[in-house]
Amino acid sequence: MKKILIGIFTAFVTACAPYASPERATWKTYLYGASFTDMNDVSMSAKKPILLGDGGRTVTDATIKNPELEYGDAALNESAMYFGYMAELESKLYDALRRPGMSVQRVGTDVLVILVRDAIMELNAPEISSVGDDNLKTIARILKQYDATFIEIAGYTDSMRDVNAARAFSTDMAERTAVYFARHGLRPSRMFIVGRGAARPIAAQDEWGRLTNRRVELRISPVR
């Protein structure tokens, strides 16, 4: 009985403890199987056998076959599966992420989630915040359910004089987010991780725009 009570207490304390990223020296272990490059058709095609060998699956494997789609053009039928699967994912994420600093949008068959840095990390420290813990946990839960997808985790920052510092800062955000996902059950073999520095700003480089440009973008693409 005493051991059971100790176990319950330990689980409770662990659940209530704030999330802390592991030591940076261990990140490679958590991210083993991830790709540190842009996600594009070529890189996804090369990564597909690795994902499938890691227990992953394609959208056609994950989708319940519709008898109405058994006849007709196979390419059109598969395309309908991809759009349907990603539309469901977009809807789940949109409903769950109606919170400040986050947005969900469709880009073709891909789903793009924009996470302003303040929505996931401490204001003045390179660490996942308590609010970020909750937000990323919600995303991880949904992405585990819709596992027939690749995920590009891209970090961005505002304009900085030192280009290398901007790239390092954005890479830290991307890798820190990826480690969080890996620790919460997402396969690293699904992940593409990049830091793009001050590239592709989405707001002006004024006081408020800088905070918006510091962000992590998740681009989620179906495994075909």
pLDDT higher than 50, residue 8: no
**Chain mean pLDDT for the chain:** 88
pLDDT higher than 50, residue 120: yes
β-partners of residue 215 are 116, 156
CA distances from 152 to 1, 13, 34, 38, 56 (A): 46, 33, 10, 7, 16
Check: CB of residue 222 under 8 Å from CB of residue 109. Answer: yes
For 152-163, the pLDDT digits (tens) are: 999 999 888 888
Mean pLDDT, residues 41-67 taken together: 89
pLDDT higher than 80, residue 187: yes
Percent of the chain with pLDDT over 70: 85
pTM: 0.87
CATH class of 22-222: alpha beta
207 Rama class: left (phi>0) / alpha (psi -120 to 50) / beta? alpha
Structural domain boundaries of the chain?
22-222
CA distances from 218 to 31, 35, 114, 155 (A): 16, 14, 6, 9
Q: What pLDDT score does 69 carry?
A: 55
Q: Per-residue confidence at 18, pLDDT binned at 50, 70, 90?
A: confident
**39-53, 150-164, 189-203 — which one is most confidently predicted on average?**
39-53
